Copies of this chain bind each other. A is one copy, B any other.
Amino acid sequence: MFMGAITKDGLDIAEKSREIVKSKIKEVLNEKYDEYTKEQMGIIERVVHATADPEYAKLIAFTDDAIKNGVEAIKNGKPIIVDISMVQAGIRYDNIYNYIKNEEAIKLAKKEQITRAEAAMRLLKDKIDGGIVVIGNAPTALIEVVRLTKEENIKPALIVGAPVGFVKAAESKELLRNSENSSISAIGSKGGTPVAVSIANGIIALSRNEKA
């Protein structure tokens, strides 16, 4: 299995696509291509493959220890905490927490007048401690996770920050990169489910000694 493909046709498409993706990334990055590790480049390839948008080659930022910490967490069976169901549906891992439709999260959101995704993160803080957070949509969820790490001593192994949009998304990811957390994030307004899912599945593949 490679990139979710199990049949010859599926594998052919995945492999041909990866070759084209590689050359597009090289065009975008030029001499900066060699600044990335093989594992980082594997994750960037996944993102460009999933979006058909080579601009992402320039937009994925890694802290030094991000991949190592993420892989270790998966090897230890730690949970992945996500903001929305689309992100959950795409990640090839069983131990996933998604509270976007959780009754208690909806109640808390209404009571505090915060977003559901933000309330969900607050309720999941014990899972976030030691786990991997993957945010593909809600800036408010990412902002809340960073707050938990600063104010409540919660320590995720890795935060994947890929909220998308023109309101708060870029800022939430900058807040993440300026924090002490291990992170992989998209720079600017762009991001979304395919970006978040690609990064998470890359980490999972590496933890199984497969190609990122």
Number of interface residues of A (CB under 8 A): 47
Contact A167 B16, beta carbon cutoff 8 Å: yes
Knowing A85-B89, A89-B85, A192-B51 touch, does A13 contact B165 (C-beta < 8 A)? yes
Q: Does A185 contact B (CB under 8 A)?
A: no
List of B residues within 8 angstroms of A168 by Cβ: 13
A89-B85, A192-B194, A193-B90 known; A114+B7 contact, CB < 8 A: yes
A116 within 8 A of B: yes
For residue A90, which residues in chain B have a CB less than 8 angstroms away from its CB?
85-86, 193
Q: Which residue of B lies closest to A188 (CB)?
A: B52
Interface residues in A34-63 (C-beta closer than 8 Å to B): 49-53
Q: In the docked arrangement, what's the CA distance between A86 and B7, Å?
A: 20
A116 and B85 contact, Cβ closer than 8 Å, known pairs A165-B52, A169-B52? no
Residue of A16, A110, A188, A193 with highest tally of chain B CB at under 10 A: A193
The answer to whether A139 and B13 have CB atoms under 8 Å apart is: yes
Q: What's the nearest-Cβ distance from chain B to residue A157, in Å?
A: 24
Closest-CB distance, A163 to chain B (whole angstroms): 9
Which of A17-25, A68-76, A127-135 lies at the interface with chain B?
A17-25
Cross-interface CB contact of A13 among B16, B51, B115, B188, cutoff 8 Å: B115
Q: Which residues of B contact A53 (CB under 8 A)?
A: 53, 190
What is the interface of chain A, defined by CB distance below 8 A to chain B?
A: 5-10, 13, 16-17, 20-21, 24, 49-53, 84-86, 88-90, 106, 109-110, 113-116, 118, 139-140, 164-169, 188-194, 197
18 further A-B pairs in the complex, CB-CB below 8 A; given A6-B109, A10-B140 = A6-B110, A6-B116, A8-B113, A9-B140, A10-B109, A10-B116, A17-B166, A17-B167, A24-B166, A49-B165, A51-B192, A52-B166, A52-B190, A52-B191, A84-B89, A86-B89, A88-B89, A193-B193
